[in-house]
Structure 1
Amino acid sequence: MNTAKPESIALFCLTPGGVALAQRLSDALPLTCFTSEKLLQPGFVPFGDSFAKTVEQAFSEYSALVFIAATGIVVRVIAPLLNDKLHDPAVVVMDERGEHVISLLSGHLGGANDLTRRLAAILRATAVITTATDVNQMAALDTLAAKLDATTHDFRQTVKTVNQMLVSQKRVGLWWDRDFAPDAEQFDTRGFIAVDSLDALPSLDALVCVTLRDALPPQAIPLYKLVPKRVVAGIGCRRDTPPHTVATLLNQQLAANHFDSLALCAIGSVSLKQDEPALLELAQRCQIPFHIFSVDQIAGHEQRFPASEFVRLTVGVGSVSQPAAWLMSNGKLVGDTLREQGVTITLGVSDRC
């Protein structure tokens, strides 16, 4: 899934006026500016085989694309590249006089709306944003998800349903679990109705809950969980442990600690396990990072935990899963360590993965 992090921005300009505007913007933002050979300026990158081919490559390599060009040209060049709102980068278009900045694609999840406002502020231009929630001066569930680095089951349909309810002036509640409630005010929640307790709901048509929990008290109205990705898992295992075994035990450990499986954001282990098939497959299947720690990094924290001489003889340290989880969560471990079938799993909760 893409996220609202347009710090890798590719800018395309096709005219002398566009090049001049790109130079102004590059003084204010970190940009990679592309243009034709005949318009090339110091610090700019020439188009490769063609403008279209360069855009195609940038579409998968950058989190945001900015075009100083006619909207029609941009639509035609990106049309064959479009996938869906969950993966497409932010696309912003502006005229070469810098009077209008248009959020064209991935306004919420990709961060195009935020980038449009940012560019417009730099140029003192008019930001053109057409997403329904923004037009109605309301928050959007997908924007909130991006800011929280959160997801939900059946993300596409849930976002569509909740955002439609918001712009239709339905009463959508928003409840924050205790771990997230202190930071709630820093997020845009316009249009949502604040809910303090799940035991005493106001009159609502639906409820969104920001939580890591795998289950919440049943409600008489539609309930949607927005799950921040915060849970990390330190894992140790014997060589060639079947992938199914590791995945099953991890799900068991998540359930034992009442975490929604969507909350998992990273796994980690010692460097000796960097090519362990079960761990590589787990990271790929869950689409999460696999953090590798050196023996020295693990050794720096192993004294905190019970040691196994068998593990020490095998990998050089007496414990793997607990120090790895400690490192990934800055010491915020949760629950007991699972030890079954030659696998150890320790969970932690990170402030941000």
Structure 2
Amino acid sequence: MIELQEGVIPEIEVHKPYALVAITKHGVAMARDLQQKFPQVDLYYMAKFEQGDEQDRGIQLFTGTVRLLLPALFKQYKGLILIISLGAVVRMIAPILVDKKTDPAVVVVDDKGENVISVLSGHLGGANALTHEVAEAMQARAIITTASDVQKTIPVDLFGARFGWRWDAEDKLTPVSASVVNEEHVAIIQETGEKNWWMHDTPMPPSIVVYPSIQQAIEVQPQAALIITDRLLTESESVLLENGVVYRPKSIVLGMGCNRGTSLEEIEAVIDETLQELQLSKKSVKALCTISIKQDEVCFQQITNKYGWEFITYTPEQLNEMPLPNPSETVFKFTGAYGVSEPAAMRYAKTTDLLLPKKKSGNATISVARLTF
């Protein structure tokens, strides 16, 4: 709990590049939803709106006026997304402004979530690009008031953010951004994930080229690369990472079952081992799905809260609608469904193909499917 007091700089925990702040009931609801869609944010809101899951979700609560929180956020974040009225934000940030080269991006969202407004550091600080990405994630209107908006390209550190994509490592964000801005040859390779990532009303610049495979991109020796995949790259493919960034779309679905009382540690170990076997990134997991009688299973609640995954349950009737490669009379006897992990993964992913059929490991079973886009 952050207790804000006049003249005292609050201690905050910085984990992500952007801070998201809400101070009203409606604002908190929107912010909690946006945190799931836009994982690059640390979320702060007033303690009176506490819902009980804040620690699991990494949400920081505060008491006192938000004005006393902003100076600490200003110094430590690349950008602030504030679900606060524009007039109030202007008054609160005015005393702490330094200059456009050092001030963070500031974006304001109205309390109905209809407008996302670029307020400060539009170009140099990236507020205009951040505004577009947040607006896309919220299905809101982006409002840019600068005379010329030159961000008609890909903001490397925000690429796919509105879909929940996450980059693997940040060490190449700056040099790859420089390649994009300087119109060097930049290769894009997309193996999975949402396809409608180009959001401008102008064509992509000729310096940015989409290649159908990593191998073809390697052959042309681009000066930078953006790779969108849920796979772990092989050693030979990693040559593109000399000046490249890997983005992890939310494309992997876990179907799981477990014995009652299975520990978080065991469930996470099964997931980690399985993803490693399949050479898939944990950052690409979107949902964990199971049968409805497991909706109160503590280990499933803990693991999905820990990583911000969706936790989806289906009734036995819904699971039995799926064609099962390995139906089990034993499972049916105890649950009313002929399978749990396989049909749960298939139903969510809307596919009958599994990357991994049912695998039993200790107290758990797991199946893996990939979403199609």
User: In the alignment, which of 268, 274, 299 is matched to residue 295 of structure 2?
Assistant: 274
Q: CA deviation at 1:111?
A: 3.6
Name the counterpart of 2:91: 73
CA distances 1:230-284 after superposition (whole Å, capped 9, x unpaired) = 1111101111223222222222322333322211111011122122232222212
2:275 aligns with one of 254, 258, 269:
254
Q: Percent identity among equivalent residues?
A: 16
What residue is the counterpart of 2:10 in the other structure?
Answer: none
- Output the CA distance in 2 between the equivalents of 1:89 and 1:297: 45
CA–CA distance in 1 between the matches of 2:314 and 2:106?
31
Work out the CA distance in 2 between the residues paired with 1:343 and 1:202.
Answer: 45
Measured after TM superposition, the shift of residue 198 of structure 1 is: 3.0
1:1-353 to structure 2, matched below 5 A, reads 65=83, 67-69=85-87, 72-75=90-93, 90-91=107-108, 102=119, 107=127, 111=131, 115=135, 118=141, 120=143, 126-127=145-146, 135=150, 137-154=152-169, 156-177=170-191, 179=192, 183=195, 186-187=198-199, 190=205, 192-200=208-216, 201-216=219-234, 217-219=237-239, 221-301=242-322, 304-335=324-355, 336-351=357-372
Decide which moves more: 337-346 or 110-119: 110-119
CA gap of 1:68–1:262, structure 2 versus 1, over 3 A, is closer
Classify the secondary structure of the residue corresponding to 2:354.
Answer: strand
The separation in 2 between residues aligned to 1:109 and 1:274, in whole angstroms, is 39
- Find the aligned partners of 1:231 and 1:344 in 2 and give their Cα distance: 16
Could you give the per-residue CA deviations for residues 299-318 of structure 1, whole angstroms, max 9, x where no partner exists?
333x5343333322332322
- Normalising by structure 2, we get a TM-score of 0.60
CA distance in 1, matches of 2:229, 2:331: 36
Cα shift at 1:103: 5.8
Partner Cα separation in structure 1 for residue 106 and residue 291 of structure 2: 34
8 Å CA contact 2:131–2:143 kept in 1: the answer is no
Cα distance change, pair 3–101 in 1 and its aligned pair in 2 (3 A): closer
CA separation of 1:238 and 1:174: change in aligned 2, threshold 3 A: same
SS in 1 for 2:333: helix
CA separation of 1:269/1:310 partners in 2, compared to 1, >3 Å: closer, same or farther? same
d(CA) in 2 for partners of 1:308, 1:149:
36
Distance change >3 Å, CA 110–CA 337, structure 1 → 2: farther
Aligned length: 281
Does the C-alpha gap of structure 1 residues 161 and 334 become closer, same or farther in structure 2, counting only changes over 3 Å? farther
Give SS of 2:214's match: coil
Offset at 1:74? Answer: 4.5
Distance 1:211 1:120, change over 3 A: closer
Q: Could you say what secondary structure the match of 2:313 adopts?
A: strand
8 Å contact 2:172–2:244 — kept in the other structure?
no
CA contact (8 A) 1:212 1:263 kept: yes
Change in CA separation of 1:275 and 1:153 when aligned onto 2, cut-off 3 Å: same
The CA deviation string for residues 193-237 of structure 1, in whole angstroms up to 9 with x for no partner, is: 433443343343322111121124232633321111111111011
Can you list the C-alpha shifts for 1:25-44, whole angstroms capped at 9, x where unaligned?
A: xxxxxxxxxxxxxxxxxxxx
Q: Distance in 1 between matches of 2:311 and 2:166?
A: 19
Change (3 A) 1:334 1:257: farther
Letter of the 2:180 partner, please give it. L
Q: C-alpha offsets along residues 140-163 of structure 1, whole Å, 9 cap, x if unaligned? A: 123322144311213x54434432
Q: Which runs of 5+ in 1 are unaligned?
A: 11-48, 56-62, 80-87, 94-99
**Deviations along 1:177-202, whole A, 9 cap, x unmatched?**
2x469x36855555634334433433
Q: In 2, are the aligned partners of 1:108 and 1:143 still within 8 Å (CA)?
A: no
Greater Rg by CA = 1
Task: Summarize deviations over 1:38-76 as a string: whole Å, max 9, x none.
Answer: xxxxxxxxxxx98969x9xxxxxxx86363427641425
Task: Answer yes or no: is the 8 Å Cα contact 1:120–1:127 preserved in 2.
Answer: no
Alpha-carbon distance between aligned partners in 1 of 2:315 and 2:19, rounded to the nearest angstrom:
30
Query: Secondary structure, in 3 states, of the residue corresponding to 2:239?
Result: coil
Asked whether the equivalents of residues 253 and 371 of structure 2 are also in contact (C-alpha less than 8 Å), the reply is yes
Q: Do the aligned partners of 1:232 and 1:266 also contact (CA within 8 Å) in 2?
A: yes
Structure 2 distance, partners of 1:78, 1:307, is 64
Contact 1:152 1:158 in 2 (8 A): no
Greater Cα shift, 242-251 or 231-240? 242-251
| Aligned position for 2:32 | none
Q: Is the 8 A contact 1:295 1:316 kept in 2?
A: yes
Secondary structure of 2:127 counterpart: coil
* Aligned Cα root-mean-square deviation (Å): 4.3
Aligned residue number for residue 50 of structure 2: none
